[in-house]
Copies of this chain bind each other. A is one copy, B any other.
Amino acid sequence: MNFGEASAVTPGEEGVWKAEVQPDWDIFGVSNGGYLMAIGARAMSGSSQDRRPVSLTAHFLRPLSAGPVEVAVDTLKTGRTFSTMRATIGAASDSVALLGSFADPGALDAEDLYVGARPPDLPPPDECPRAIPSPDGPLPPPIVGQFEERIHPEDAGPLQGRPSGVARMRGWFRLDHEEPIDAFTLLLVADAFPPAVFNADLPLAWTPTLEMTTQVRAVPAGGWLRCQFTTRFVSGGLLEEDGEIWDVSGRLVALSRQLALVPR
């Protein structure tokens, strides 16, 4: 089952969509947040004449496992260019709360007017180790078997218990079988790499995400995505992870930031 199928939604009653959260898109049995955001975004898009996510925020209320879910979408504004909606994803109770603005892509200017950063420098994909799900333990988790992810050798240490000391994770991403990457896929990519904080030399375990916001700028050109995730501040009981996703043409296609809880 490819990503498009695994994140599909079907219309139910007024404003409610049905989806099936698939097994093996999880970490420790908890469905991946970016994957759930993609499911939610598909329902929100379906409720707004197929507008595309521009900025989507999720707050994660309760862990969600594989199985049927409902996405309830509430439209707050339908403008000429943007639709703003909120939604919840849940089974018995709400697990994810979403708030986002979606746009008619044709209404946005495609031009790059100012670019004050460069894509991350990465060795070619075949010189970067691939993350493969562990048959024996929880890490790497099953979800990394759903796509092809290649980690910068300098950042791949945590997989062997050797963090670099710099809370950064860089790598390549593509879907299997040349499945094209659309705006919904970018929501997944932004949450699909090992946590950057695993490279900080800290005794950190599972850090549950409280909130994540992903902003989509463009649908990427086909091919590999260059990705970079950085944590700068582990403080106040919290840590942020900032993501940049660039396409093969060197264009920024998405920015993300998530806030996770550092267990006390």
Nearest B-chain residue to A103, judged by Cβ = B237
Interface string of A34-76 (1 = CB under 8 A from B): 0000000000000000000011010101100000000000001
User: B235–A116 contact, CB under 8 A?
Assistant: no
Q: Which positions 73-105 of chain A face chain B at CB distance < 8 Å? A: 76-77, 81-82, 84, 86, 88, 94, 97-101
User: B217–A114 contact, CB under 8 A?
Assistant: no
Assess whether A159 is interfacial by the CB under 8 Å rule.
Answer: no
Interface string of A103-138 (1 = CB under 8 A from B): 000011111111111000000000000000000000
Instruction: Report how far A245 CA is from B210 CA in the complex, Å.
Output: 21
User: A116–B240 contact, CB under 8 A?
Assistant: no
Please pick, from B57, B235, B261, the residue contacting A113 in the complex, using a CB distance under 8 A: B235
Q: Which of A16-24, A174-182, A186-194, A250-258 contacts B (4 or more CB under 8 A)?
A: A250-258
User: A109–B262 contact, CB under 8 A?
Assistant: yes
Interface residue SS majority, chain A:
strand
Interface string of A238-264 (1 = CB under 8 A from B): 111000000000011001010101101
User: B232–A117 contact, CB under 8 A?
Assistant: yes
User: B233–A59 contact, CB under 8 A?
Assistant: no
User: B57–A99 contact, CB under 8 A?
Assistant: yes
**If the complex has contacts A114-B233, A114-B234, A238-B108, are A97 and B94 also in contact, measured as CB distance less than 8 A?**
no
User: A202–B114 contact, CB under 8 A?
Assistant: yes
Instruction: Report how far A117 CA is from B233 CA in the complex, Å.
Output: 8
Q: Min CB distance, A52 to chain B, in Å?
A: 10
